[in-house]
Amino acid sequence: MESSTFLFLTANVGSLFGKMRTLQEGWLAEVVKVVSTRRPLVLAFHFQEVGGKDYAHYMEQMKPFISQLYEKCSSQFGLNRALAYVDEEFSNSDTFTALGSFYLFHDSLPDVEVFNFTTMKFDALTQFQMHTESSALPYFQKKRFLKEMFHKRQPSRKGFLRCHLKVGTFVFDLVNVHLFHDSCNIAAVEMSPSVFAKQRECGLKFVFDEISRCFPAEAPLVIFGDFNFRLDTKSLVENLLAPPSVAVQTVTQGDDGQPRVQYKHVMSGENLVDVRSKVFNHTMNIKNEALVQLSKLDREPKNYLGLREFPINFLPSYPFVENIDQASVYMNTRAPAWCDRVFLNDRAWHAAQLVPDPPDYNVIGKDTCMGDHKPVYLWVRLSLIPVKPQFSLLSSPQN
């Protein structure tokens, strides 16, 4: 076998549990639709915020969710060999990441093996395995971000999972990541790049360093998850939504006692942008015609050497209204952003360039409520022939 098709899918599932569990049916239907259309031989899911926002009460819903997804994919698409890990040990605040990784392999593939980080050898994968215990985690390298890396040293459930796999003779790495979010809109508009962008840069460097410390990523690597990359919010406001030529800024105290920044039209007095800690009201219509303007402000990924991404031709994947009747409406909590991404290192990118099939990089559920994040997927055919390209394998962010 000289090449194989892969479907990499990342989904922040924080909206799918508890009171919002009713969204699962539509979510699953949309995901299965993509799998049915693309028929991958390797299907890889990366989940963030497993168990939902109130994970202490609803974590028990995660394993049935994975099982239901497995039943659909195995029975309909011949993806019977599978490996899943769900980090459900929320009581351990030092290690809990709320990440989940789920990999499925088609029956037609040759031997599938997963690297055992305990024995430092590959183990055969012959059936469906689901793991939930962090204390005995042979098949994943897991790390939660350090407390001092978070804004104001207030940690939350974020980190990364790495899995080292082999299909036949093709060895590759998959990394699930959830980086820091913009916890305050006021702070996000103060400077460019924002303090949060700088923290995410440090976070991704931490991921690369930890991977290399375990053992270097010398194989094709695909890292996909909720990077929480945001538009340059200061530039978004000052250059696009409310430029100084037409708007005047006023700073007042909101009802909650926190600062409130408003940008009003100098002539009409219309409120063009209203920024509060967890409010970002604006008048821009986020439709396809805004794609070019917004993509120019998507600057964070450009900080990372050795990570490649296929062109984005879809609207920002976050933050959508969590209402089943408003599938394509953005919330006014944050500025729209492409948080959910799929990146390849140079080896993986080279493997994709050796085959003629064009990739498919898109969101899932454009007309269906999928929660506050739309899942993002990359379908790609990769050459399985080992190569040694003359470039870096995995690079840290620029200094």
For 250: left if phi > 0, alpha if psi spans -120 to 50, otherwise beta; the answer is: beta
Q: Please tell me whether residues 142 and 272 are part of one structural domain.
A: no
* Residue 110: CATH number of its domain: 3.60.10.10
**Structure-model confidence comparison of residues 20 and 343, the more confident one:** 343
Question: Over 50: is that where the pLDDT of 143 sits?
Answer: yes
Q: Work out how many domains the chain is built from and give that number.
A: 2
Residue 293 lies in a domain: no
> Any residues with CB less than 8 A from the CB of 184 and at least 6 apart, and which?
151, 277, 278
Window from 98-112, 125-139, 159-173, 354-368 with minimum mean pLDDT: 125-139
Judged against a pLDDT cut of 80, whether residue 377 lies above it is answered with: yes
Q: Tens digit of pLDDT for each residue in 283-313?
A: 888 887 788 899 999 999 988 878 999 999 9
Do 237 and 119 belong together in one domain?
no
Say yes or no: 65 and 92 in one domain.
yes
CA distance 175 to 25: 27
Distance, CA of 48 to CA of 10 (rounded, Å): 8
Residue 352 lies in a domain: yes
Does the residue 220 lie in any domain? yes
Residues 109, 189, single domain; the answer is: yes
Residues 12-54 pLDDT 10s: 999 999 878 899 999 999 999 999 999 999 999 999 999 999 9
Same domain membership, residue 217 and residue 194:
yes
Does residue 397 sit within a domain? no
Q: Is residue 391 part of a domain?
A: no
Q: Answer whether residue 183 shows pLDDT above 80.
A: yes
> Are both 74 and 113 inside the same structural domain?
yes
Do 165 and 181 reside in the same domain of the chain?
A: yes
Is 255 part of any domain?
A: yes
Q: Would you place residue 389 in the very low, low, confident or very high pLDDT band (cuts 50, 70, 90)?
A: very low
- Both 82 and 33 in one domain: the answer is yes
Same domain, residue pair 70 and 209: yes
Residue 68 located in a structural domain? yes
Inside any domain, residue 19: yes
Domain range for 240 is 233-283
Q: Is there a single domain that holds both residue 55 and residue 140?
A: yes
Are 55 and 90 a contacting pair, CB within 8 Å? Answer: yes
Amino acid residing at 37 = T
Residues 71 and 30 in one domain: yes
**Pair (81, 204) in one structural domain:** yes
